[in-house]
Amino acid sequence: MSETVRVYINARPVDVDSGATALQAAPFVIAVPLAFLVLDFHAIAKPRDAVFVETPGVARLRERAGPAPARFAAPGWTLLPNVSEAFRLEDVRGHLLHEAAYRRLLSGADENAYGRYGTYLLFHPRSFDPASPVLDLLNVTTLAAPPGSRLPTGVEVERRDAAVMEALDARTVHPDPDPARFPKIYDGGDLTLFARPSAFPRFRLVSRALPGGVEEARSADRATLASGVFVPPDVATRLSAAEASRGSGGEVRVTLLEPERFEVETTTPLPSLLVSSQKSFPPYWRLYLDGARVPGFTANGLFLGLEIPAGRHRLEGRFLIPRLELVISFLGLITLGAVVVRALGRIPA
């Protein structure tokens, strides 16, 4: 029930309709705390309270990640994605921020990668295929497993894992891998690391354009992914017309790789297709070839690709927010400010 309440503003008495005022203020009372909660969201502890110690195994992973960019993968709960992020390690798994197309791609390496463990992307030690061409495509050069593991996946890894994984349907269980394919490169009290020599570089040259996307890439064999790239049908038609004059020989060198910028130098005797495992995130990534902005194409359903002329060239990628989004955000702030002012103005003077 509404009633008149006398309040004091600057020592002056003011009569206010409490019911109407409460209704006007309710959206702000609810929204403002939620906004601060979103800005201050930490799953376990705030950064100032968290303690991260770089163990020898983590240090070895960091060495494996440079100077050439590289990613790693791990079965079970080994080195959770949140911990990987704290050490700026590139883990192909993730937590919260992953789209359906990427989850679908990872299912080529493990059908149980998502949907069983909350919002985490996790590989089950017994259904994860460490030899999957999808991991080659994603530049996975290292596999991490619990300490004392003889193999990167399998029954032993499941037994040594930090937490129990649920039982699997026998149809999804993958056989233990051949140890010769994944040489052990570190065996410590914190981790066991195995090399994946078959991984593709982060940026590489191919000559063939094939119609398709994520679905075709997840089911393709390594030879197909090594020589070609799946692109939208209209792009495949255009690129295939010049395939006879195109080659994949040449050199690609990554000179800079940051979250919102990268630089790549290429030297090729013939025109080529430069493909990557950098997510395209349209329309945010913008590509510049020798300083001039150029259009790229979507490679393998998710990633950046670009036609490269013969000769020596420098490619730069920049992650930029479009001006229209900035304008819309600015207008939204102005509108919010106007609503607040109007609501305050309705309080009697």
Instruction: Give the pair of three-digit tokens for residue 263.
Output: 């630089």
Torsion angles phi and psi, residue 86, rounded to 5:
-60, -35
The number of folded domains in the chain is 3
Q: Mean pLDDT, consecutive 10-residue segments, the chain of 349 residues?
A: 50 54 65 65 64 90 87 94 88 88 96 86 94 98 97 94 84 88 96 97 96 97 97 95 88 93 96 96 93 96 96 95 70 75 67
Q: What is the pLDDT of residue 265?
A: 97
Q: What is the pLDDT of residue 7?
A: 45
Q: What is the pLDDT of residue 231?
A: 97
Please, what sign has the CA dihedral across residues 289, 294, 297, 302? positive
Residue 110 lies in a domain: yes
Tell me which amino acid residue 77 is. Answer: W
End-to-end Cα distance, the chain: 23
Tell me which amino acid residue 36 is. Answer: F
For residues 73 and 170, state if they share a domain: yes
For residues 30 and 83, state if they share a domain: no
Q: Using N-to-C axis directions, what is the helix angle for 18-39 and 323-345, rounded to 10°?
A: 150
Torsion, Cα of 256, 257, 263, 265 (10° steps): 70
Question: Rounded to whole angstroms, how far apart are CA atoms 120 and 267?
Answer: 40
Residue 50 lies in a domain: no
Residue 83 lies in a domain: yes
For residues 211 and 247, state if they share a domain: yes
For residues 207 and 154, state if they share a domain: no
CATH of the domain at 272: 2.60.420
Give the closest residue to 66 by CA, choosing from 313, 256, 221, 301.
256
Q: What is the domain extent for residue 235?
A: 203-319
Q: Assign residue 311 a region: left if phi > 0, alpha if psi is -120 to 50, beta otherwise?
A: left
Give the closest residue to 103 by CA, choosing from 215, 196, 200, 202.
215
Q: What is the pLDDT of residue 12?
A: 54
Residue 46 lies in a domain: no
Residue 333 lies in a domain: no
For residues 296 and 267, state if they share a domain: yes
Task: Match 């395939």 to its residue by tokens.
Answer: 243
Residue 73 lies in a domain: yes
Q: What is the pLDDT of residue 126?
A: 93
Task: Match 């791990």 to its residue by tokens.
Answer: 74
Residues 6+ apart with CB under 8 A from 256: 262, 263
Residue 345 lies in a domain: no
For residues 312 and 267, the answer to whether their CB atoms sit within 8 Å is yes
For residues 201 and 68, the answer to whether their CB atoms sit within 8 Å is yes
Torsion, Cα of 317, 321, 323, 328 (10° steps): 170
For residues 191 and 207, state if they share a domain: no
Q: What is the pLDDT of residue 22?
A: 58
